[in-house]
Amino acid sequence: MATLNQHRVYIPTNARANHYLLAEITPNHDFYKSFSDINCCYERIARQLFASCDEYELYNVHLLANDKLPVVRFNDESYQLETDKQMLFFYNPRYHEAHKIYYTEGTPSKKIRILFLATGDDLRANSAEFHNKVQKVLDTLQGQLLINQPQFKLRDHQHLTYDLFAKEKGNKESYGYKLRSLYPRYQSRQCSIPNDYAEMTYATFTIPVSRAIKTQFQTLMNTNDYAKFYDYFAYAFIRACQNNNLNHGAMVANGATPIIRNSKIDKSEGNDELQKLSFDIESNENQIKHFYEASKLVETLHFVVVATQQDKHEMGYGRFMNQVEKTIYTLCNELAINKQRQDLSVRFFQHISYPF
């Protein structure tokens, strides 16, 4: 029983689940020439796409041809917001539905992306069925409209988001998760994934730079140089990770949103909005990084902890998440955080991708 408990992480019952699939295709040179104009191309794909989605009961789907990266978050109100680099989708899976298309008129997009957002209740329990439906829609598109085009790259994203301090706020109920890997979970539910898939599993958490924290660390801060302030958090994070046998992670405090990738596919790079972080998950060597601008005080510190092959157990990632939670508590116990009033959002991410 003790061994079993090591592989379960107890997450508050009010945790939120998100699930979405992103299908991406890079059109070849002749693709756009086969349509009368660019706008006609996008509209025709959208008509076929949304007709297939209706057939397979996929009710929240978006076609993106604007070369912006989609980012999905939970919200009780539905919003679609654009920045220079991102398309932000806020929605509640229980009741938000939409079929929309986004493109720049007359402009060929380098990539065409289709975002499938899961809807309904029990998203994790129904994830394999949702994945199967998306595969059928993509089969239809490739068979009727995207003949002789490069393969889709399909990415499956699942999140669990919860407040680490839920108990301190009176939310005592929790559920024990084993957090099984996506591949065996899908295989057991008759959802076929090819052998050449890639997986990434990681957790993120954020610490707001509140007035209380600014006061606590005022001796390390001045208006021109915040390096000592950032170094404190970077080194405290590194020590906490190492004490809990976690060797892959990052602190991002430059105003950008971290995006996690496998180093075999993508290299680390950044811009004003996004900080791409690449990790070799097959290596056990230390890969803990930090990014900050000493002259700029950010509103939020972003932290990432990535699971390696060594953290992957047949029973799941429950043990990994227990190590992550211990790391967060170690880091936060020294901080001026009111656990009864302030949330500390933890997100557990599971991604699987493959050419379709």
Summarize the confidence of residues 288-297 as an average pLDDT: 94
Average pLDDT, whole number, for the chain? 91
- State residue 142's pLDDT score: 87
Q: Which backbone phi and psi does 210 adopt, to 5 degrees?
A: -80, 170
pTM exceeds cut of 0.85: yes
Give yes or no for residue 271 having a pLDDT over 90. no
Residues 32, 113 within the same domain: yes
Give yes or no for residue 49 having a pLDDT over 90. yes
- State residue 28's pLDDT score: 78
Residues 207, 312 within the same domain: yes
User: Cβ distance 166 to 305 under 8 Å?
Assistant: no
195 assigned to some structural domain: no
- State residue 278's pLDDT score: 92
Residues 212, 319 within the same domain: yes
Residues 242, 139 within the same domain: no
Q: Which domain holds residue 79?
A: 27-149
HSE-up of residue 113 (Cα within 13 Å, Cβ side) = 21
pLDDT band at 269 (very low <50, low <70, confident <90, very high): low
Residues 213, 133 within the same domain: no
Residues 207, 336 within the same domain: yes
157 assigned to some structural domain: no
Residues 229, 345 within the same domain: yes
User: Cβ distance 262 to 278 under 8 Å?
Assistant: yes
Q: Is 230 exposed, middle or buried (0-12, 13-18, 19+ CB in 10 A)?
A: buried
- State percent of the chain over pLDDT 90: 76
318 assigned to some structural domain: yes
Give yes or no for residue 309 having a pLDDT over 50. yes
Residues 256, 116 within the same domain: no
- State residue 50's pLDDT score: 97
Q: Which amino acid is at 197?
A: Y
HSE-up of residue 131 (Cα within 13 Å, Cβ side) = 27
pLDDT band at 1 (very low <50, low <70, confident <90, very high): very low
154 assigned to some structural domain: no
Residues 208, 345 within the same domain: yes
Q: Worst-scoring range by mean pLDDT, 54-58, 60-64, 143-147, 286-290?
A: 143-147
355 assigned to some structural domain: no
pLDDT tens for 84-102 read 989 999 999 999 999 999 9
Q: How far apart are CA 295 and CA 254, in angstroms?
A: 10
Among 130, 149, 168, the domain-final residue is 149
Q: How far apart are CA 336 and CA 333, in angstroms?
A: 8
Q: Is 272 exposed, middle or buried (0-12, 13-18, 19+ CB in 10 A)?
A: exposed
pLDDT tens for 5-23 read 778 999 999 999 999 999 9
Question: Structurally, how many domains does the chain consist of?
Answer: 2
DSSP 76: S
Q: How far apart are CA 87 and CA 66, in angstroms?
A: 9
Residues 119, 218 within the same domain: no
- State percent of the chain over pLDDT 70: 96
List, in sequence order, every beta strand (DSSP E) within 280-344.
Answer: 287-292, 300-306
69 assigned to some structural domain: yes
166 assigned to some structural domain: no
Give yes or no for residue 208 having a pLDDT over 60. yes
Residues 35, 99 within the same domain: yes
Residues 219, 339 within the same domain: yes
